[in-house]
Amino acid sequence: MPPAQATAEAARLQALQSYAILDTPAEDSFDQLATLAARVCQCPMAVVNFVDSDRQWFKAAVGVPFKETERAIAFCAHALSGSREPMVVNDTHKHPVFSHNPLVTQDPHVRFYACVPLVTPEGQALGTLAVLDSIPRHIEAEQLEGLRILAEQAMVQLELRRQKQVLADLVQQRDKMHAELLAQSETLRVAGQMARIGGWIVDLPSLQLNWSQEIAAAFGIAGRMGSVEQIMELYLPPHRQAMLAAFESCIRQGTPFDLEAELVTLAGRHFWVRTTGQAVRDAEGRIVRIQGAFQDISAQHQARQARRESEERFHLVSRATADAVWD
């Protein structure tokens, strides 16, 4: 096969593979097209076939006792130039190429053959819609036009089938991504619980505050949304004033903040928290929401406090020891 022809054939086979049609189960839509083709052309045999690298395979067949043949003896292999014009052989015994073909000299003893190529929008011929008879004959122009229309419908079915497969693949990818996101979300949720970290978002200009389950549990609040004032009231003075000032600056200038503060829950529990926040802007640079994180740092705060107290005691003991030595 010349290089140019080999390149063209490789492109044609790649196009055929893109439809994922070979070796698929029978489908009513293609079976009906083959049946209609046989009736329109008044032929006992009709096929919807696709030509692979070494075989022709029948997606649908009427009156043909096999599912595939070698490509070397396939009539349809001669209709793969990319042309959409029908090919008609009125009498195979008089045809220089087909007269000695095993499909002519043996069962099913084909004497008449007519096909319309199945050509993609890009011009790649995948196979044909063909009718066959065991006696020589002529085909009327109306019948040939009917065969052409049915071939166009076969390509419509192929395109619909491919689009359905593309959609199914996208749905599968979406479901896989959704499952992965759920797994990641659960991992982050567990990590947040272990680290006592939660997230929050304030929508602007409504100042509607939404928080994670971790924050709801830490604050002892039912529900997952409320007002900024509702949360600010839990911070003890002077931390409340510092938080309000930082929050206001973030809303107006987009200044991020990271503060540690003491608060008390509605149940009277005192603990220390670290609250961070940053502005989120739209495409025009306007601040549309504030989002951040919250972490219960009571244990760390107590540890730092204990360390400071220990250091102070150490310094007191050191000074007392030094004074005793000099005395």
- Give, in words, the CATH class of 195-296: alpha beta
First to last CA, the chain: 110
Q: What is the pLDDT of residues 277-311, one digit of tens each?
A: 999 999 999 999 999 888 888 777 777 776 776 66
d(CA 17, CA 57): 13
pLDDT of residue 191: 43
Q: Tell me whether the CATH fold assigned to 3-161 matches the one assigned to 195-296.
A: yes
Confidence class for position 188, pLDDT limits 50, 70, 90: very low
Phi, psi angle pair for 141, to nearest 5°:
-60, -40
Q: What is the pLDDT of residues 129-163, one digit of tens each?
A: 999 999 999 999 999 999 999 999 999 999 999 88
pLDDT of residue 89: 96
- Max alpha carbon distance in the chain (Å)? 134
- How many Cα atoms are found within 13 Å in the side-chain-facing hemisphere of 287? 22
Helix axes 141-195, 28-41, angle to 10 degrees: 170
Chain centroid offset of residue 130 CA: 37
Q: In this structure, is the dihedral angle defined by the CA atoms of residues 267, 270, 271 and 274, taken in order, positive or negative?
A: positive
Q: What does the pLDDT average to over 193-217?
A: 77
Considering only residues 133 and 313, tell me which one the structure prediction assigns the higher pLDDT.
133
pTM here is 0.57
d(CA 47, CA 50): 10
Cβ-proximal residues to 198 (8 Å cutoff; 6+ apart), any chain: 192, 211, 212, 213, 214, 215, 216, 218, 293, 294, 295
Q: What is the pLDDT of residues 9-39, one digit of tens each?
A: 999 999 999 999 999 999 999 999 999 999 9
Q: Where are the domains of the chain?
A: 3-161, 195-296
Closest of 209, 213, 211, 210 to residue 189, by C-alpha: 213
d(CA 237, CA 174): 48
- Give, in words, the CATH class of 3-161: alpha beta
Closest of 64, 69, 67, 71 to residue 13, by C-alpha: 71
- Residue 324 reports pLDDT greater than 60: no
